[in-house]
Chain A
Amino acid sequence: MKFVDEYRDPALAGRLLTEIRQTVIHPWVVMEICGGHTHAIMKNGLDQLLPAQVELVHGPGCPVCVTPVETIDRAVAIAARPEVIFTSFGDMLRVPGSVSSLFMAKSAGADVRMVYSPLEAVALARQNPAREVVFLAVGFETTAPGNGMALLQARREGLTNFSLLASHVLVVPAIRGLLSSPSNRVQGYLAPGHVCTVMGWQEYEPLAEKFGVPIVVTGFEPVDILAGLLMVLRQLEAGRHEVENQYGRSVSRQGNPAAQRIMAEVFAVSDRAWRGIGVLPASGLVIRDHLAAYDAERKFDVETISVRESELCKSGSVLQGLIKPDSCPAFGRECTPEHPLGATMVSGEGACAAYYKYHGMRHA
């Protein structure tokens, strides 16, 4: 398959690994922010092939994992209303809230449907004028423009029965939060290629400067990840801290201005709670006031209940790169993909699920 096979070429990957081995002298801790990176690293076993001095830690870049329990609870409550068709990407359906998941709501009679695009949800609203169609809009800057576009499309068509339950999060405030933490161990970052396709890498430059960390925008195939890692390690060994771009076939410094315009038109930046981490300032997106009619949170008056997470779950420490998933005492015991205690065990991009799936109980 063109544009994929080149980036999975074992010979090229082998050469990059050799270069990494030749480059690394000191021990380094590098974080991949994005769950897509974590997944690709585990799937291809890249962590097994790296020299011992390079430690990869897994960041909070899995939108499913950091969506607060309250949002899931709100989704379940809205989905239970008889007039609602509740739509979501597949990942979110299994995420446990405080009492139920969307899958459980579905089996209890709620009309919950999996879609592959928010525009499918708009189409459902068009086809079902007597029903209220709600789309669960989660994700980073990657999905926000598409979800914003769906909202604008619904408005253009004059659909009054479409709304978003929005829980969008932003990458840069998360990295800033991690770097500001006194317990931070991370010395270099692989920045998320898809988010940067939308946002560009300008906004990472102040971070690299202020915290003295190299940041390399990286793609998602094994060769991309090894090349991005090599670029980070070269900078670390040379004492540099710049933003570099490995993912040139997709990312420019400015990003995608059309997508950014849609985001700015639909969403405003706000403080946001991250599951397992807590509230990070200016780290989320909310629907702007003049579009409140499309905001499910305001359209459906759902009471917010404050909830407690399982005390056994250490997903907060995992998401901050403080511990590896298999160092959590509950990993593979009380907490498995069938019975997840935290969202990091639910999503395919969650670090705990990736460890469980690709390493299993071998290391537990």
Chain B
Amino acid sequence: MHNLNPEDFSCPLPIMEYETIQLAHGSGGRLSAELVSRFFLPRFGNEILNRLEDQAVVDFPQGRLALTTDSFVVDPLFFPGGDIGDLAINGTVNDVCMSGATPLYLAAAFILEEGLPMATLHRVLLSMEKAARAAGVRIVTGDTKVVNRGCCDKLFITTTGVGRVPEGVNISAANLRVGDRIILSGTIADHGMAILTSREGLSFASRVQSDTAALNGLVAQMLQASPDIHAMRDPTRGGLATTLNEFASSSRIGIMLEETAIPVRPEVRGACEVLGIEPMYVANEGKLVGVVPAEVADRVVGAMRNHPQGREARIIGEVVADDPGLVVMRTALGAHRIIDMPVGEQLPRIC
């Protein structure tokens, strides 16, 4: 029997003249207006977006602004644990909040390939709506373009986010100090391996799920435990290894990691083993790595563990004076090895 999804009832696919995207949907004419009014506004509508001006005019609180932009070209559009829609919301929310900022508004731009099924677009928009609501952000302006078939692959999304950085918070990759503790919020390599295994059709790895999630709630909880967070990033493309190398080189310090402290789900590790991929270099979309002074580390980890996105938070290493610019790992056998930046493209179109 067909599975009934309550969401299909509440948000049926709007009835449109065409079942697929036509070039005219990007023309600015009648079909464009129909696409906006029937597809986009019902999903994202709010009093700012509904004005349909060329720009969003918003109230903005006093203080410092965090601004970021990111493009999403993931292939496939739908993968275990998520899709391009929630990725586009969560990715930008996370980039804003890694500064400690509270994300407030998003802008979203869509490049659609002629012939894209309306049902596909609708499914992506539903997922964006849900992710934006979960993260507590509003999409206040946007744009849609349609390109000839073959000029883009189905659907690309660019999201831009703004947020407010609280007073007294100063988070930067250049702020690491010797003695600081490195905190990881959970397992690594879930997103990248979910994409890779779904792309390669590896049936043994069907349980691998993307970790895509908005981290602003977790960040708020960390800042409440201690506003003295020195550095924070979400290790997306290039994985944990790349983020830590960026920290080491920006702050000109060394980082010593414990191999046994870094959690990898068994099914993810299995997929990595089979494909010969190192989890340290695989993308995450719902994890963060924070660097805090030793004296507040346990308090921050405790606060993180009270949040759904931080249940498996733990200290994975510390900042050291030796080997500035290098990330070194103590292996399970007690030897040392350098965790270098990755070379070349491990996996294109992962987000």
Contact = CB atoms under 8 A, between A and B. Distances in A.
Whether chains A and B associate is: yes
Interface of A: 1, 4, 8, 10, 13-14, 42-46, 48-49, 94, 103, 116, 222, 337-338, 348, 356-360, 362
Interface string B329-340: 001111111101
A43 B273 CA distance: 14
Contact of A1 (B270, B326, B331): B270
Given A116-B275, A338-B343, A360-B326, A48 B266 contact: no
Contacts of A356: 340
B343 A48 contact: no
- Residues of A contacting B: mostly: helix
- Residues of B contacting A: mostly: loop
Of B266, B273, B323, B338, the most chain A CB neighbours within 10 A belong to B338
Interface string B318-351: 0000010010000111111110100110000000
B276 interface: yes
Interface of B: 200, 266, 269-270, 273, 275-276, 323, 326, 331-338, 340, 343-344
Given A1-B273, A116-B275, A13 B333 contact: yes
A36 to B, nearest CB: 9
B145 to A, nearest CB: 25
Contact of A48 (B270, B323, B335, B344): B335
B270 A222 contact: no
A8 B332 contact: yes
A64 to B, nearest CB: 12
Contacts of B269: 1
Given A1-B269, A1-B273, A362-B323, A45 B343 contact: no
B324 to A, nearest CB: 12
A337 B343 contact: yes
A100 to B, nearest CB: 15
Contacts of A116: 200, 275
B266 A1 contact: yes
A222 B9 CA distance: 55
Contacts of B337: 42-45, 358-359
Nearest to A50: B335
B10 to A, nearest CB: 40
B27 to A, nearest CB: 31
A360 B270 contact: no
Contact of A10 (B200, B276, B332, B336): B332
B338 A362 contact: yes
Contacts of B344: 94, 103, 337
Contacts of B270: 1
A155 to B, nearest CB: 25
A10 B269 CA distance: 18
Contacts of A4: 273
